[in-house]
Amino acid sequence: MKIGNFDLNKDGTYIIAELSANHNGSLQVALDTIKSAKECGADAIKLQTYRADTITLNSKNDDFKITQGTLWDDKYLYELYEEAYTPWEWHQELFEYARSIGIDIFSSPFDKSAVDFLEQFNPSAYKIASFEITDYELVRYTASKMRPIIISTGIAYEEEIKDVVEICRSVGNNDIILLKCTSSYPAPLEDANLLSIPDLAQRFNVISGFSDHTLGSTAPIVAVSLGAKVIEKHFILDKSISSADVEFSMDAKEFKEMVSKIRDAEKLLGKIDYSMAKKRSREHSRSIYVSKDIKKGDILSEDNLKSVRPAYGMHPKYLNEVLGTKAKKDYKFGDRFEYKDKNSYTITKS
């Protein structure tokens, strides 16, 4: 599967810098954040496309007040989203700028009107946020645009994950990426449950990844080692910016370090390869050498043949086969013992 020009099967881990609310209402900060994300090694910058009135109601009923022990407690939903949203009139400039500097850009739509709006920019993918995974009609409509669809599973039950995967496939979209996500801000390490990453891929026959809200870079590195093909992390230009998401966002220094560690992890993982042809230092392993001068007719024994380093002589697996046979010629201490055929044991001089 490709997202833009990035091949998830060949090009390693696709690393997304999530802009979210970290522009703090400034277009210039948003543009500078895109530039910094590119410099830090991100493959993509992701926006969120909604307005307060497309995501909630402007109501002061208790149902709309945040009280779940979050960073935003005592705010009303409409108030929070009015503060955090990315103005729609910025999108064209943000898309054009990102593409001009060579970083991919796409967004999370939060209703059908956002999908329709984003289509004009020909995004390389769409992202369904954790809290929108239960909006099956939004998933269906987004998937119907036949672009890769990335879905965070943070608040979903297994049955709901199954449902949205089937919805995507029912409209002919098989380019599905499921992200393990813990929808806590920030998320405790013990709630990450990263073993779900390979299980998501196997259980639903999709590409899997990780949308991370933990602090630091340990979780993304572990996620990559478990097979995550996509990593998403909230990114902020500077932690002095008073953003709704600053507490669980990485600044440029942290993000760059995370990218570097992920690329190192990819090198460490390498590929499945049991071939010895490319492995160095095999000559420092063991082989059979003459450990005491031998005269023709002497019995070859553990007294005059040994398995020692280096590995230029006969493979040690033949030692027992050789022991007890008679020497065919004189051998000197330190000679390599080589296997010519099953009936004749000869020595090559060192």
Same domain, 247 and 102: yes
- Whether residue 297 has pLDDT greater than 90: yes
Residue 258 near residue 243, CB atoms below 8 Å:
no
Same domain, 289 and 250: no
| pLDDT of res. 305 | 96
Same domain, 294 and 152: no
Count Cα atoms within 13 angstroms, Cβ side, for 239.
Answer: 10
pTM above 0.75, yes or no: yes
Same domain, 22 and 97: yes
User: Strand pairing partners for 207?
Assistant: 177
- Whether residue 70 has pLDDT greater than 80: no
Same domain, 130 and 43: yes
Mean pLDDT of 194-200: 98
> Nearest-CA neighbor of 34 among 22, 51, 25?
22
**Is the residue at 202 inside a domain?**
yes
Q: What percent of the chain has pLDDT over 70?
A: 94
**Is the residue at 79 inside a domain?**
no
Same domain, 261 and 298: no
**Is the residue at 296 inside a domain?**
yes
**Is the residue at 233 inside a domain?**
yes
**Is the residue at 125 inside a domain?**
yes
Same domain, 149 and 246: yes
**Is the residue at 298 inside a domain?**
yes
CATH of the domain at 94: 3.20.20.70
**Is the residue at 66 inside a domain?**
no
The CA dihedral of 15, 19, 22, 28, to the nearest 10 degrees, is 110
Same domain, 265 and 322: no
DSSP string, 126-153: EEE-GGGTT-HHHHHHHHTT-S-EEEE-
Same domain, 262 and 340: no
**Is the residue at 133 inside a domain?**
yes
Which of 269, 301, 330 is the last residue before a domain boundary? 269
3-state class of 177 per DSSP?
Answer: strand
CATH of the domain at 299: 3.90.1210.10
Same domain, 339 and 203: no
Same domain, 232 and 313: no
pLDDT band at 288 (very low <50, low <70, confident <90, very high): very high
- Whether residue 342 has pLDDT greater than 50: no
134-156 pLDDT per residue, tens: 999 999 999 999 999 999 999 99
Which of 238, 269, 300 is the last residue before a domain boundary? 269
Pairing state between β 176-181 and 149-152: parallel
Counting the structural domains of the chain, the total is 2
Same domain, 258 and 288: no
Which of 269, 304, 338 is the last residue before a domain boundary? 269
Q: Which domain holds residue 161?
A: 11-50+85-269
